[in-house]
Amino acid sequence: MTSFEGLARDKHLSLSARLVGAEILRNVDPVTGRARITAEQLADTLHIGVGTVRKATSILVDRSYFRKVKVGRNIEFVVVVYPAEKLDVNS
């Protein structure tokens, strides 16, 4: 199951969390597995509030889709990859 499928099937995620997660995944560098994108950029791209983006990213980190890594003054999102048998989106 891909990360996109996991986001789509997770019953615990709101629509905004799914949209934010999908946009982060769209911006992931395939070499590093990291996405450098700000809450403001996500909000502007998705036409939602910055507070909504921050809440969504917090939920996505709590649900272990991403890790936040501080790089200098920026935050990068690192995709968390689990083997398929460990990924249970219904719990």
Could you give the 3-state DSSP secondary structure of residue 66? strand
User: Mind listing the pLDDT tens digit for each residue in 12-28?
Assistant: 899 999 999 999 999 99
Cβ neighbourhood burial of 80 (10 Å; 0-12, 13-18, 19+): middle
Taken in order of first residue, the domains within the chain and their CATH numbers are 3-80 (1.10.10.10)
Per-residue pLDDT tens over the stretch 78-90? 988 654 444 454 5
pLDDT digits over 35-80, tens only? 999 999 999 999 999 999 999 999 999 998 999 999 888 888 998 8
Confidence of residue 32 (pLDDT cuts 50, 70, 90): confident
What gap in Å lies between CA 36 and CA 29, rounded to an integer? Answer: 9
What letter does residue 72 receive in the DSSP assignment?
Answer: T
